[in-house]
Structure 1
Amino acid sequence: MALIPALWVVAIAIVAVQNATPVSLRLLMLQSIEIPFGVLLAFGAAGGMVVAALGLWLLGLSSGKRQPQR
C-alpha cells in the first residue's frame, strides 16, 4: 500500500527537477505568488491525498459498519 505514495513522490521529484520554472495560479481575478511548478504539484498531490483519506474515513464512519473486536 505504501508503494503508491512512493511512486507519486518519485514522479513529483522527477518533474520538479526537470521543470523549476516559477508559475502563478489565476482564479477569476485573483493571482497567486510565483512558486516553482514542482512545489505546486507537490502541494496539489498532498492535498488530494488528504482529501481522499478524509473522504474514505468519513464514508467509513457513516456506513455504520463496525469491525468485530477480537
Structure 2
Amino acid sequence: MKTFANLFISLVVAIWIMAIAIISVQNATPVSLKFLTFQSIQIPVGLVLAFSTGMGLIAMAILQPLWGVAGSLNGNSRLEEDAEFFVDDED
C-alpha cells in the first residue's frame, strides 16, 4: 500500500510539473507582482508559477510534521474528554 501511495504522489507532482511547463511556454509575457506598496521586477508567468509551486511544496513539507506534533499533543486529552462524555450511567 505504501508503494501505491508513493506512486500516486509522484504522479501528482509530475502532472503539476508538466502543467507548469506547458503554461510557462505558452505565457512568456513578463509580469510584475504587486503586494501593498512592494513591486517585483518583471519576470515570465511560468517562472512565477514555478516559484510559487516550489515555495508551497516546501512550506507544506515543513508544516505537516508540525501539525502532526500539535495533533498528538492535543489528541490524548481530547480522547479522554470524549471517553468521559460517552459513559453510560446505569442506575
TM-score (norm 2): 0.65
**Structure 2 unaligned spans of 5+:** 1-8, 74-91
User: C-alpha distance in 2, partners of 1:57/1:3?
Assistant: 22
Alpha-carbon separation, structure 1, partners of 2:34 and 2:13: 28
Instruction: Report the equivalent of 2:17.
Output: 9
- State the distance in 2 between where 1:10 and 1:57 align: 28
Q: Flag the structure with more relative contact order, 1 or 2, with Cα contacts below 8 A and sequence separation at least 6.
A: 1
1:51, distance to aligned residue in structure 2 (A): 1.0
CA deviation profile, 1:12-59 (whole Å, cap 9, x unmatched) = 000000000000001111110000000000000111111111111212
**1:42-57 alignment runs, 5 A limit:** 42-57=50-65
Q: Which has the higher helix share?
A: 2
1:28 equivalent to 2:36? Answer: yes
Normalised TM-score (structure 1): 0.83
SS at match of 1:2: helix
Tell me, which stretches of 5 or more residues in structure 1 are unaligned? 65-70
Moved over 3 A (4+): none
Give the percent of matched residue pairs that are identical in Structure 1 and Structure 2.
Answer: 48
Shift of residue 60, structure 1, vs aligned partner:
2.3
Report the residue type matching 1:34 in the other structure: Q
Deviation of 1:61 after TM superposition, in Å, equals 3.1
